[in-house]
Copies of this chain bind each other. A is one copy, B any other.
Amino acid sequence: MANKHVFSYGAGKAEAKGADLTKNVLGGKGIGLMEMTSIGIPVPAGFTITIQTCEEYYQLGRKLPKTLEKEVRDAIVKLEKVTHKKLGDDKDPLLVSVRSGAARSMPGMLETILNLGLNDKSVEGLAAKTNNPRFAYDAYRRFIQMYSSTAMGLSKQPMEDMLHEMKHKIGVATDPEIPADKLKELCAQFKAFYKQNKGEEFPQDPWKQLWGAIMAVFNSWEAEKAVTYRRVEKITDLKGTAVNVVQMVFGNKGENSGTGVCFTRDPNTGENTFYGDYLINAQGEDVVAGIRTPLKLATLKDQMPKAYDQLCAVRAILESYYKEMQDLEFTVEDERLYMLQCRTGKRSPAAAFRIAVDHATQPLLTKAQANELIKKGYLPKKYADAALKPVITKEEAVSRLSSEDIERLFYPVIDSKKTGIDQLKKLRLAGGINAVPGAAAGKVVFTAGEAEAFAHNGDRVILVRKETSPEDVGGMHAAKGILTATGGKTSHAAVVARGWGKCCIVGCEALDINYNDKVMTIGGQTIKQGDYLTLDGSAGDIYMGDLTLKEPELPESYYTILKWADTFRTIKVRTNADTPYDADNAVRMGAEGIGLCRTEHMFFDTEERRLAIQEMIVAETPETRKAALLKLLPFQRDDFYGIFKAMNGFPVTIRLIDPPLHEFTPKDEAGIGKLSKITGLSPEKIRHRCEQLHESNPMLGHRGCRLCITYPEILEMQITAIIEAAIKCKKEGIKVFPEIMHPLTMDKKEFKILETQTRAVADALIKASGVKLNYMVGTMIEIPRAALLADQIAEVAEFFSFGTNDLTQMTLGLSRDDAGRFLPVYVATEKEGGKGIFKDDPFQSLDQEGVGKLVKLGIELGRSTRKDLKIGICGEHGGESASVKFCHRIGMNYVSCSPYRVPIARLAAAQQAISDKKVVIKKKTTKKK
């Protein structure tokens, strides 16, 4: 490849332009540094080695591309020019940080090395030049530590132990208290340890250091923890990491220096305030690691007012520029501000909604704030103007949110009514920092491995750690909630958990963990592994026991976003609901009808109903079968009445009985005995009949409309129940619109027989009642043949509902119940030990290529016969974002999903409509030209 591998920046200019200026080339960190440089924000100079270089590195079998050396040497020369320092110079050495930076943020996953360029000579030069030997040797000992572990693979612990040992020996508590000579001593110890373990001297040549660091960053891309993180976060499309080599600036130069991380808005609530932590006299890693408890950003105003004002201006500039909440890293060196990183900030789901709404409706700064920053000369007029207006449109606000944001909004809270306020007080053990809101209850475990093991067995778990590290990501994901003894809101635990919207409390000082005995003490209580604990992540409170949780109250901004979404959306969103309760709930979630009402669930409800359906199954003549069905009729009629009432005029699609009859048979001797008593049939006969119903492949067996083809009495009863319920509603002035749906249709003639019988029963009842009642008769399309012959079936069917659960099973020849043995291998990537055949589990996200092709064909064929054919989907895919968008694109009229997925479908449908509109506008624009 003759591509450019290295892009430099500094002194207000960046090399990367156009297509190179993208995250997939330079990574998030690299592009942030270059963009900030370009728009005049103070950033230390540096250069970025591209993500493509990382790809090449792996393609070459972990070897650097040949042309890279010259490009890096050139970039160092440029950097030396801008900084007026030289790499390896004994008097005034150029020091750099070497950091990873992928296209998407992977906090703590990839490697970083600071202070590179120091060696035994230049450290003395640095000490002399800064007149600060303590600072110089602190920088050197950090470099040796990081380089040894990160680039050379040595264990971190021994050097950490030496550091502790030293503090103990000289009787100090914190690192900054260690004097220069002791730090120098430590450096010597570290280097000795290095030599002992690596068999050679610690590298003194800054070039050797630099190449080692670059390769360390590339290698960290394929480290197990990073691979796991990408799988869990579903970001498996990334190609590699960039390497950012940046001039060092020092927050640890003394009391006029410091370093911090901050968010341009509160990432928990979304409130429009500047939010963050900093430490005086510290390097960046100290803040993130959560070792020292940091200070609130507001106090910076008093400690370093100039730097603070500058930072406020940077905040305004970056939000105006990126039109998004930013997550920033900064360092103040001798009161001078340097921005080290900017990226779109992770946020709680509530904050995501609030920020989107605010961005679309509110200015970032008040006029007074803007004027002050302008006056001080930190905020250019151009950015001030932008900060006084909403930065995005409502469409952009709706498009920005994800289905995960909605899911996370619905995470539960503690039901204080249930537990009682007094009792809650008694159960409260301690408080911590409320890092991620939401509540969680579960069994306590103390290691990530145990968290995964417990969760695998179906247990809810709370992971309790002193602090978390990237190695713990798997267990953190498996846990319902996370509790740590140390760290702040920007600690590893907080940042990772926030990304998932997972309840998290950090910095709980009252917590003492004994990993060996698998116990913790907190608030005077001893809690063992497996005991229950409840966390309230919103308040930061920790409770004993397994408290009842309840649905949270949704923020106003959630309703605003979904209201906007509904105005953009062009397809309807219905729900799958089988009971008046579900129906009611779904309407509250925004459902515009029922797309799938499964009638068989109604048969399981009470013993009376179960016995009646069993009686029907063992009936030996059509007459006894009809008699049994007659018992079920009033139950079904009442259920339908309730559902119609709840939906009050919204269409209700009712699917006739679908599962094979053996699902209803008595499963034990007691059940058989009861059925025998009722029917007068011998238990042997009943057992025999139940055995007869056994099927080799029930999925493909005697079920769906095949039941009504062989037992038309069932159809008759169900239609009677539906129509009588509808008539009752009509008479009471309730609007009702039943859509009667036959499942598992495979042939036009088959469907015609059912349709004819359906209409005969329905029309007779309607005629006799004297009311006017409209209804539709349609079919599921869930068998490949039905999709292939949809033109024929549409001659009879008034609507189609694609049952993509079954359609996926049949189109892929894949039993959902059995796929567990091999489907994970198909979905997992090679790196994860799988084969990477499918990008997603086809039962979770619609296989658009295969099943989708059949669905598309079915729609085209169906509409070729019947232009106004109403088409929807009622598989579980109807509530999955990508699938909903696909349904919109292929022209469905609606999607239907479980009540709690309705908001997700509403949002996804709106996003696709917005995206379509953009395409239309673009096309129009192109045409005009």
Given known contacts A710-B825, A837-B749, A837-B753, is B788 in contact with A850 (CB within 8 Å)?
yes
Is A746 touching B815 in the complex (CB atoms < 8 A)? no
Shortest C-beta distance, A864 to chain B (Å), equals: 14
Indicate the size class of the contact surface on chain A: 35 or more
CA distance A753 to B835 in the complex (A): 8
When distances are taken between beta carbons in the complex, the residues of chain B under 8 Å from A837 are 709, 747, 749-750, 753
When distances are taken between beta carbons in the complex, the residues of chain B under 8 Å from A182 are none
Offer 13 A-B interface pairs, CB within 8 angstroms, sorted by A.
A695-B818, A697-B698, A699-B700, A700-B809, A701-B819, A709-B822, A709-B825, A746-B814, A747-B837, A753-B837, A784-B813, A785-B813, A810-B813
Say whether A789 faces chain B, with CB atoms less than 8 Å apart: yes
Say whether A161 faces chain B, with CB atoms less than 8 Å apart: no
Is A854 touching B784 in the complex (CB atoms < 8 A)? yes
Is B818 touching A698 in the complex (CB atoms < 8 A)? yes
Partner of A695, one of B710, B815, B826: B815
When distances are taken between beta carbons in the complex, the residues of chain B under 8 Å from A3 are none
Say whether A811 faces chain B, with CB atoms less than 8 Å apart: yes
Partner of A783, one of B700, B813, B821, B849: B813
Q: Report the nearest B residue to A787, measured CB to CB.
A: B784
CA distance A753 to B829 in the complex (A): 13
Given known contacts A810-B810, A822-B710, A849-B789, is B854 in contact with A700 (CB within 8 Å)?
no
Say whether A744 faces chain B, with CB atoms less than 8 Å apart: yes
Interface string of A698-713 (1 = CB under 8 A from B): 1111100010011000
Contact residues of A between 706 and 756, Cβ < 8 Å to B: 706, 709-710, 744, 746-747, 749-750, 753
Interface string of A803-827 (1 = CB under 8 A from B): 0001001111111011101100110
Given known contacts A699-B697, A788-B854, is B744 in contact with A813 (CB within 8 Å)?
yes
When distances are taken between beta carbons in the complex, the residues of chain B under 8 Å from A698 are 696-697, 815, 818
Given known contacts A697-B697, A699-B700, is B847 in contact with A785 (CB within 8 Å)?
yes
CA distance A783 to B850 in the complex (A): 11
CA distance A588 to B789 in the complex (A): 41
Given contacts A698-B815, A785-B850, 15 further A-B contacts (CB under 8 A): A696-B817, A697-B699, A697-B809, A699-B813, A700-B809, A701-B821, A709-B822, A710-B821, A710-B822, A746-B813, A750-B835, A782-B813, A784-B784, A784-B810, A789-B853
Is A700 touching B818 in the complex (CB atoms < 8 A)? yes
When distances are taken between beta carbons in the complex, the residues of chain B under 8 Å from A819 are 701
Q: Report the nearest B residue to A851, measured CB to CB.
A: B785
When distances are taken between beta carbons in the complex, the residues of chain B under 8 Å from A814 are 700, 746
When distances are taken between beta carbons in the complex, the residues of chain B under 8 Å from A812 are 746, 783-785
Interface string of A270-300 (1 = CB under 8 A from B): 0000000000000000000000000000000
Say whether A515 faces chain B, with CB atoms less than 8 Å apart: no
Say whether A836 faces chain B, with CB atoms less than 8 Å apart: yes
Contact residues of A between 686 and 701, Cβ < 8 Å to B: 695-701
Is A826 touching B750 in the complex (CB atoms < 8 A)? yes
Given known contacts A784-B854, A785-B850, A785-B851, is B815 in contact with A806 (CB within 8 Å)?
no
When distances are taken between beta carbons in the complex, the residues of chain B under 8 Å from A810 are 700, 784, 810-811, 813
Is B850 touching A789 in the complex (CB atoms < 8 A)? yes
Say whether A207 faces chain B, with CB atoms less than 8 Å apart: no
Task: Find the residue from A806, A814, A819 having the highest chain B CB count within 10 A.
Answer: A814
Interface string of A563-605 (1 = CB under 8 A from B): 0000000000000000000000000000000000000000000
Say whether A322 faces chain B, with CB atoms less than 8 Å apart: no
Task: Find the residue from A811, A817, A819, A849 having the highest chain B CB count within 10 A.
Answer: A811
Say whether A838 faces chain B, with CB atoms less than 8 Å apart: yes
Contact residues of A between 400 and 432, Cβ < 8 Å to B: none
CA distance A264 to B809 in the complex (A): 59
CA distance A693 to B803 in the complex (A): 28
Q: Which 8 A-B pairs have the closest CB atoms?
A: A700-B815, A697-B815, A701-B818, A785-B850, A783-B813, A696-B817, A695-B818, A697-B699
Partner of A697, one of B700, B746, B826, B853: B700
Q: Report the nearest B residue to A660, measured CB to CB.
A: B818
Shortest C-beta distance, A557 to chain B (Å), equals: 42
CA distance A749 to B828 in the complex (A): 13
Shortest C-beta distance, A629 to chain B (Å), equals: 19
Q: Report the nearest B residue to A817, measured CB to CB.
A: B696
Shortest C-beta distance, A855 to chain B (Å), equals: 11
Contact residues of A between 21 and 41, Cβ < 8 Å to B: none
Is B806 touching A813 in the complex (CB atoms < 8 A)? yes
CA distance A458 to B821 in the complex (A): 38
Q: Report the nearest B residue to A699, measured CB to CB.
A: B697
Is A747 touching B700 in the complex (CB atoms < 8 A)? no
CA distance A789 to B784 in the complex (A): 14
Shortest C-beta distance, A740 to chain B (Å), equals: 19
Partner of A788, one of B695, B710, B782, B811: B811
When distances are taken between beta carbons in the complex, the residues of chain B under 8 Å from A811 are 783-785, 788, 810
When distances are taken between beta carbons in the complex, the residues of chain B under 8 Å from A809 are 697, 700
CA distance A10 to B797 in the complex (A): 54
CA distance A662 to B60 in the complex (A): 44
Q: Report the nearest B residue to A854, measured CB to CB.
A: B788
Shortest C-beta distance, A797 to chain B (Å), equals: 15
Q: Report the nearest B residue to A751, measured CB to CB.
A: B837
Is B815 touching A701 in the complex (CB atoms < 8 A)? yes
Task: Find the residue from A785, A806, A814, A826 having the highest chain B CB count within 10 A.
Answer: A785
Is B836 touching A700 in the complex (CB atoms < 8 A)? no
CA distance A702 to B753 in the complex (A): 37
When distances are taken between beta carbons in the complex, the residues of chain B under 8 Å from A744 are 813
CA distance A696 to B817 in the complex (A): 7
When distances are taken between beta carbons in the complex, the residues of chain B under 8 Å from A753 are 835, 837
